[in-house]
């Protein structure tokens, strides 16, 4: 919020809520519900487990979902999240 930049979240598992499995194709989605829609369950690749998208600040859920799809051309996770996950795992192994 201090920078004024929009933020969104992407997770491999949901932190809260209930959801139904989206369809099997890239771009299929279903709501993540916790009394109201708090996120979206999104299939970024055909036949792979979905990811869980949430908004942070300065962005709506439709735009966040579109960005996650655009940033996930080849893998389940967006390239930015995938790179951060890889670096964090490497740092943990190095110890």
Measured CA to CA in angstroms, residue 23 lies from 1, 27, 51, 59 at distances of: 34, 9, 13, 25
User: Domain-by-domain residue ranges, the chain?
Assistant: 8-94
Alpha helices in the chain (DSSP H): 61-70, 79-94
Rounded Cα distance, 23 and 73, in Å: 18
Residue 37 contacts residue 79 (beta carbons within 8 Å): no
CB neighbours (10 Å) of residue 45?
A: 17
When pLDDT is cut at 50, 70 and 90, the band that residue 63 belongs to is very high
Assess whether pLDDT exceeds 90 at residue 32. Answer: yes
Domain 8-94: top CATH class = alpha beta
pLDDT at 95 (0 to 100): 81
Question: If you average pLDDT over residues 47-73, what whole number do you get?
Answer: 96
Assess whether pLDDT exceeds 80 at residue 59. Answer: yes
Pick from 5, 92, 73: nearest CA to 84: 92
Q: What is the pTM of this model?
A: 0.89
pLDDT at 1 (0 to 100): 75
Pick from 41, 9, 13: nearest CA to 27: 41
pLDDT at 9 (0 to 100): 94
């Amino acid at each position: 919020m201090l920078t004024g930049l929009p933020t969104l979240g992407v997770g491999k598992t949901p932190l809260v809520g209930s959801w139904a499995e989206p369809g099997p194709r890239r771009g299929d989605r279903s709501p993540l519900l916790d009394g109201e829609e708090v996120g979206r369950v999104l299939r970024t690749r055909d036949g792979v487990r979905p990811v869980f998208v949430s908004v942070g600040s300065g962005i709506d859920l439709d735009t966040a979902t579109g960005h996650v799809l655009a940033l996930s051309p080849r893998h389940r996770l967006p390239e930015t999240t995938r790179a951060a996950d890889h670096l964090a795992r490497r740092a943990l192994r190095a110890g």
